């Protein structure tokens, strides 16, 4: 069995967000050198609002992205904009919640109490991929029969040998092209001796019994590795 891989857009989003956070940390720590003078607050206010009138080639953008004072003001203005939007959205949210509450009450009365309560217990499971292998060009070891129940699962995955530490995206899909995602979660690996392990929650209650694939994607590698899985 040879592992297949694809680009994962969600893992890529995690990776780009991580890069942005690292750059902001360096700027706010004064580890970068801006070029040119600081722009006025009006420009920073427009930039915080993501105004389309500002061209990406504007040298003031490059200055702001590398200036500790301007970056601090920009982040403060963005937080103010976010708070303002939340205040504006609050009345609408109250109305929406009220409508949802009414709908739930009506549905509850219509359905009565015939339906059994959903199984909300969490099942702990361990999936051992230690002998599967992740080095490209090698034939990975054949997996034992790997299965998960159709329940709320707290799964601990023992990653294959030579797996890198860091953030992983875990997904259950219907095929090894990444389509038909049934459940997914993210987790940061924890070292246990020579092993790297990740633990995340997966909701498989709506999954029908049958064959699926379990995939893992590292935040920096961006390659999704697939392993056959049975849901019972």
For residue 168, the model assigns a pLDDT of 93
Mean pLDDT for 115-138 is 68
What are the pLDDT digits (tens) for 77-95? 888 877 777 776 666 667 7
Long-range contacts of 15-21 (CB under 8 A, 24+ apart): 15/219, 15/220, 15/222, 18/167, 18/219
The single-letter DSSP state of residue 7 is B
Positive or negative, the CA dihedral 19, 23, 28, 29 is positive
Mean pLDDT for 108-129 is 68
Average pLDDT, the chain: 80
DSSP string, 216-229: EEETTT-BEEEEEE
Domains of the chain: residue spans and CATH? 19-115 (no CATH), 122-231 (2.60.40)
Measuring CA to CA, which residue among 167, 161, 151, 165 is closest to residue 202? 151
Token pair 């990776």: residue: 15
Asked if pLDDT for residue 13 goes beyond 50, the answer is: yes
Instruction: Give the pLDDT band of residue 48 (cuts 50, 70, 90).
Output: confident
């Amino acid at each position: 069995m040879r592992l297949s891989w694809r680009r994962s857009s969600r893992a890529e989003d995690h990776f780009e967000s991580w890069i942005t956070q690292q750059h902001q940390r360096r700027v706010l720590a004064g580890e970068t050198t801006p070029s040119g003078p600081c722009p006025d607050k009006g420009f920073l206010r427009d930039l915080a609002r993501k105004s389309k009138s500002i061209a990406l080639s504007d040298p003031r953008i490059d200055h702001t992205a590398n200036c500790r004072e301007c970056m601090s003001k920009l982040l403060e203005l963005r937080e103010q904009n976010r708070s303002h939007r939340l205040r504006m959205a609050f009345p609408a949210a109250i109305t929406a919640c009220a409508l949802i509450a009414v709908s739930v009450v009506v549905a509850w009365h219509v359905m009565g109490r015939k339906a059994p309560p959903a199984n909300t217990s969490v099942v702990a499971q361990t999936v051992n991929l230690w002998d599967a292998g992740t080095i490209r060009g090698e034939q990975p070891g054949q997996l034992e029969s790997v299965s998960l129940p159709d329940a709320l699962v707290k799964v601990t995955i023992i990653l294959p040998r030579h797996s890198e530490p860091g953030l992983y995206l875990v997904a259950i899909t219907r095929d090894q092209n990444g389509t038909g995602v049934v459940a997914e979660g993210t987790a940061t690996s924890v070292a246990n001796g020579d092993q790297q392990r990740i633990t995340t929650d997966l909701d498989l209650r709506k999954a029908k019994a049958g064959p699926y694939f379990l995939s893992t994607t590292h935040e920096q590698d961006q390659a999704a590795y697939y392993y056959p899985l049975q849901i019972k």
